[in-house]
Amino acid sequence: MSTLSTWLLLVLTLPTENATARMRYWRALKARGCAVLRDGIYLLPDTQERERALRELSVAIGESGGTAHLLRAPSLDASQEAEFRALFDRTDEYDGFIRTLADVRKTVSGQSAADLTRLSRRLRKDYETIVAIDFFSSETATRAEAAWQDFLTHVDTVLSPGEPRAATRAIRSLSVEDYQGRSWATRRRMWVDRVASAWLIRRFIDRDARFIWLPSPEACPPDALGFDFDGAAFTHAGERVTFEVLLASFGLDTNPALVRLGAMVHALDVGGVSVPEAIGFEAIMAGSRERTADDDQLLAAMSPVLDAMYTHFAASEKGSDTGRRP
């Protein structure tokens, strides 16, 4: 271990009369990932953000009748460095999370889309809680990340069987005029990318589009335009999901509101940087999927939602442009 770390030490006494406050501060210390050196002495690796958080906690403790002193000190030597780092070993937490994923995985296939969405959100929060206080990543952290990504892939497979693989191919520029009154086909029981793509087709590309919901990609008629399955006319390409490929193909990627909608679809379909609206849209999608009998009904239910999202993004972009004007 070539370099020695600098540490923040919080020495405190909690208010004795206020049990509620004591519990609140104990939970705050735990949430920040503080290690316990001994009763009343807590340790964190030194960063500006952690120092700021501990200073705020110190003030709150003092205001409630306790005392708190924040100190900074380096490790004395490599032996002490290893001893302090060992206090932040998250192996047990990661191993517990991996075991939870293995147990939950056995129940995934029997759950509804809404239940799977709630379950994934809860597990994501559990995982991110551990990652947030894992200051010295280890091999166990790598295993946990792999297990988490594998679990998400499994859930996606249950929600969207036949999910396409990204193809390495150029995206051709096409004219909307050449794609009017066509039949469009995709896998039945749509999820986010497919329902958003179907909405985009009917709203911006082919207003008279007829949709065919396929039991499998092999059932696609030869005269239909397939989307969002392997071998389809429009499907994942490179880093882009089908919705984004359609935007690029028909020159719609110059529309900032559609691009923002595409970012939301991308995050929900394959992961990546999320957007604030994604969780709400995913919940509505899962609920609508459970309430509708077929994909015609599902598209009819989700189209007003996507219309509203588009209007919201368009208004946001207009407001941003106004704010940038001199």
Parent domain of 129: 91-159
Indicate whether 124 belongs to any domain: yes
Nearest to 275 by CA among 257, 292, 252: 257
Q: What is the number of domains present in the chain? A: 3
pLDDT at 320: 60
pLDDT at 1: 47
Helix (H) or strand (E) holding 200: helix 192-200
Domain termination site, one of 159, 190, 217? 159
Distance CA 8, CA 44 (A): 5
Domain termination site, one of 53, 69, 86? 86
Whether residue 325 is predicted with pLDDT greater than 60 in this model: the reply is no
The reported pTM is 0.61
Distance CA 144, CA 109 (A): 22
Q: In this predicted model, what pLDDT tens digit does every residue of 32-84 receive, in sequence order? A: 999 999 989 999 999 999 999 999 999 999 988 889 999 999 999 999 999 99
Summary count for the chain: helices (H), strands (E):
11, 7
Same-domain pairing of 125 and 194: no
Nearest to 69 by CA among 93, 47, 45, 40: 40
Domain termination site, one of 45, 60, 86? 86
Distance CA 290, CA 11 (A): 53
What's 70's domain CATH number?
A: 3.30.70.240
Q: In this predicted model, what pLDDT tens digit does every residue of 129-144 receive, in sequence order? A: 999 999 998 889 999 9
Confidence class for position 149, pLDDT limits 50, 70, 90: confident
